[in-house]
């Protein structure tokens, strides 16, 4: 390949990577935020198991 072909390939690659990064930034900024009340509902369950509650149940 000649120097001109290498330059064209490098410019094309740079533009492709730049477009990819810009589109990724735009996609990340436009993601939907979870409302606070929904965030509280979907919190993980505590791993502590209450054995006394099972022992008192008939």
Per-residue pLDDT of the chain (58 residues; tens, 9 = 90+): 899 999 999 999 999 999 999 999 988 887 777 788 887 788 787 778 777 877 776 6
**Quick one: which of 46, 42, 26 has its CA closest to 34?**
42
Predicted pLDDT of residue 56: 74
Rounded-to-integer distance, Cα 51 and Cα 33, Å: 37
Its domain, for residue 23, covers 3-56
Domain count, the chain: 1
Query: Is 38 strand, coil or helix?
Result: helix
């Amino acid at each position: 390949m000649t120097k001109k072909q290498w330059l064209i390939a490098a410019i094309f690659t740079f533009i492709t990577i730049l477009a990819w990064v810009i589109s990724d930034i735009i996609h990340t900024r436009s993601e939907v935020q979870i409302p606070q009340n929904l965030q509280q509902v979907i919190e993980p369950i505590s791993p502590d198991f209450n054995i006394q509650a099972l022992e008192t149940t008939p």
